[in-house]
Structures are given as structure tokens and as C-alpha cells.
Amino acid sequence: MAATLKSALSPRMLVAFMMGFSSGLPLLLTLSLLQAWMQQERVDLTLIGLITLVGLPYTFKFLWAPIFDRYRLPFLGRRRGWLFLVQLLLILAIAGLGQCDPKSQPLILGLMALAVAFLSASQDIVIDAYRREDLADDELGLGSSLYVNGYRVGMLLASGGGLILADHLAFSRVYLILAACLGVGLATTLAAREPKVSERPPTTLVEAVVEPFLEYFRRVNPYWALGVLALILLYKLGDTMASAMTMPFYLDLGFSKTEIGAVVKLFGFWATVAGGLIGGVLMLRLGINRALWVFGVLQAVSTAGFAVLAHLGPTVAGLASVIAFENLTGGMGTTAYVAFMAALTNKSFTATQYALLSSLMGIPRVILSAPTGWMAKEMGWSWFFIFCTLIALPGLLMLIKFAPWRQEAPPSAAEHTDPK
């Protein structure tokens, strides 16, 4: 217990949390907060819908990730140098976005939002690489937990805090305030240590682009490597599909917006944070593979809770119970999921390999959740959530082969073995 507490309170864990905050803050500045601003200015709904396309850099960030593996700036080290530059440009871009006029300058607004998304995705690439290189393998679980919770705090400040401020201040000032909040990220970058990596970084851009993919498939046999990629796609599929339709579900069931805001957003936020922290601590004991099993089963069971709520009707106690269990287990599952991906990377190509894996993670949210509205309409709420529970089973069954219970973690970059 003393060792666990010492690890949790180490400076490296504080850095993981603060870097998570820096990653989470910019995300909603180009989504919900920007859409609220455009709606207030009575911008055409078609344009408001199209503005979501500025989020594409988060899906394709693996395309420029090799630059951060290959090149090193002449200050602060391989990771911190890039991180400082990207964060400084991101602060300027967010401040610039706030000075646009959504009604008369929609094109300039879109380009500035795209710049913010690009720099934010670039920051994510470097932070993910830094965390993998700075933390030991047995610290990845707790470190990922603190990173994810910091990310959620940043998102909460950008969305909830930004909207509250916008009731009292002009959006231009709100964006300036939130840009200043990213000064926390700059201070963290300057105060953090540069990771010491024994693996040789790529010496040419071609090597930085090609070798990360070749190395991943050489480390183990190609069939196992492809299977792991499929596992990343499927592990949180049921949870993601269910989450895509929860807001229409709450409203259709008869809950008021105030009840949804108080229970789902505020109470649910702290349940998710608690789940991430509990998951991180448990992973110190269980290991990554076993945590994927335990948290994955709990995550699937929690999805079935929405089917139960559909029968109970609009009771606040029922909603609070379902949200508490779902967000708690969802936070635990995300922590294991992120740690699993980090453990798969080779420290010579951390930025590129993790960017590729995390891009795959976003596919269920962006593409595979698209038909959930039609499915819920055709099936009804109860059967829809039961389906989401069952669709989690293929991902859980794949753990037998690709994250076996008897092993604590996936094969590391040093293990060029062929798992049987």
C-alpha cells in the first residue's frame, strides 16, 4: 500500500495529470463551445454542422506524427522542445479564434478552428509519446488514469466553464481566458524532466515514417498484430455505441434538462473520475491484461443498466444508480484501454505508433456509431441497449488470445516473440 501511495504521489504522476488537462482543454473549443457561439450569432445550421469537420486532424494525426519522432528542436530536448513550441502556437491560435466574427467571417473562423484542432492533435501526439517514455511499464496504468482524468477536467473547464463564462462575457473574452489557462501546460512542460530513452530514435524521415509500422509487425507475427488492432477497434464498441444515444434516451424517457445536467453531467463527471483513479490503482495490482478482463466485463454489464432504466422510467434514483455504475466502470475501462495501447509501442517510434493506435480508437466514435439512431428507432430503447451489451462480447472474447489472463501485460517492444 505504501508503494502504491508513493507511486501515486510522485512528480511523474502530477505531470501526467497536468498534461492530460492541457490535452483536454482545446478539444471542445472547436466543437460544443464554438457551436454555441455560432448558434448565438444565428449562423446557418448547415455551417454549424459542417464546423465539426475541423476535428479531422484528431483522426489523421498519425500522418505527421513521424516528424516528432525524427526531428529534435535545439532546446528542451526531443519531447519537451516540440511540446513547448506546439503549446505556445496553440495558445495564440485559440486567442486568434476568439477574435473572429462567426457571422461575417465564417471561412476565417473555420480556418482558425482547423488550426486549433491541428495544433491540439499535435500536442496530443507529443504528450502521448512523453507519457510512454517517462513512465515505467508498471506505472502506465496509474499514469494513464491520471492523464485521462486530467483530460476530463480540461474538457469540463472548456465546455461547462466556457458556457458559464459566456453568459457574463463576450465569447471573444472567453476564448482569451481559456487560452491563458493553457499556460498551465507551458509551465508543466518547463518544469518536467526530459525522458531518458535508451532506444535509438530514427535518423531519417523515411525511417521515421516506415519503420514504426514495420517494427510493429516484426515484433510479433502479422496475424497477432492485426488481431490486436481489431481488439482496439472492438474493446469499447458497445460502450461507445450506447453513449452515442444516451442524450436522446434521457429526453425521450422524460427526464428534464435540469435532471440530466445535475445527474449525468455533474454527478456523472465525478463518477468517471473516481472510476479512472480506482482503475489506475487496481492496475498496479492486476496488471494491464487482467484489468482489461475485469473492467471490460463490468463495462459491458453497466451498458445493460440502461435497458433496466428504460423499464423503470424517469426516476432520478434509477438514473443516478445507472450513471454511477456506468461512468465508474467506463472510467476504469478507458484507463486499461489507454495503458494497453501505450504498452504496445516501441520507444524509438512512440509518437507515430501511439498516434496510429489512438486514431483507430476514434473510429467507433466517429463511424461505427453513425447508425445508432436508426437502430434505436427500429429496436426500441431496451433492445438497443441489450444489443450494445452483446456487441461488447467479441472484444472480450478476443482477450483470450491477445491479452491472456495469465500474462500481466502485452508483449513489450523488447519481446520479439510469437505468442501462441
How is residue 51 written as a grid cell?
A: 464546423
Compute the mean pLDDT over every residue in the chain, rounded to the nearest whole number: 80
Q: Which pLDDT value is given to residue 7?
A: 57
Rounded Cα–Cα distance for residues 288 and 340 (Å): 6
The CATH number of the domain covering residues in 199-420? 1.20.1250.20
- Residue pair 86/117 in contact (Cβ under 8 Å)? The answer is no
Length of the chain equals 420
Domains 1-197 and 199-420 share a fold: yes
pLDDT in tens, 76-128: 888 899 999 999 999 999 999 988 888 888 888 889 999 999 999 999 989 98
pLDDT digits (tens, 9 = 90+) for 190-239: 988 888 876 677 777 777 777 777 777 776 677 777 888 888 888 888 88
Nearest to 398, CA basis, from 374, 419, 378 = 419
Distances 115 to 56, 71, 251, 359 between C-alpha atoms, Å: 11, 21, 35, 19
Residue 194: which region, alpha, beta or left (left: phi > 0; alpha: psi -120 to 50)? beta
Overall average pLDDT of the 158-165 stretch: 77
Q: What is d(CA 146, CA 153) in angstroms, rounded to the nearest whole number?
A: 11
What are 42's three cell numbers?
A: 444565428
Domain spans in the chain, listed from the N-terminal domain onward: 1-197, 199-420
Cβ–Cβ under 8 Å, residues 339 and 360 = no
What confidence category does residue 414 fall into, taking pLDDT thresholds of 50, 70 and 90? very low
CATH number of 1-197: 1.20.1250.20
Tell me which DSSP letter residue 204 carries.
Answer: S
* Spatial distance between the Cα atoms of 61 and 56, rounded to a whole number of angstroms: 9
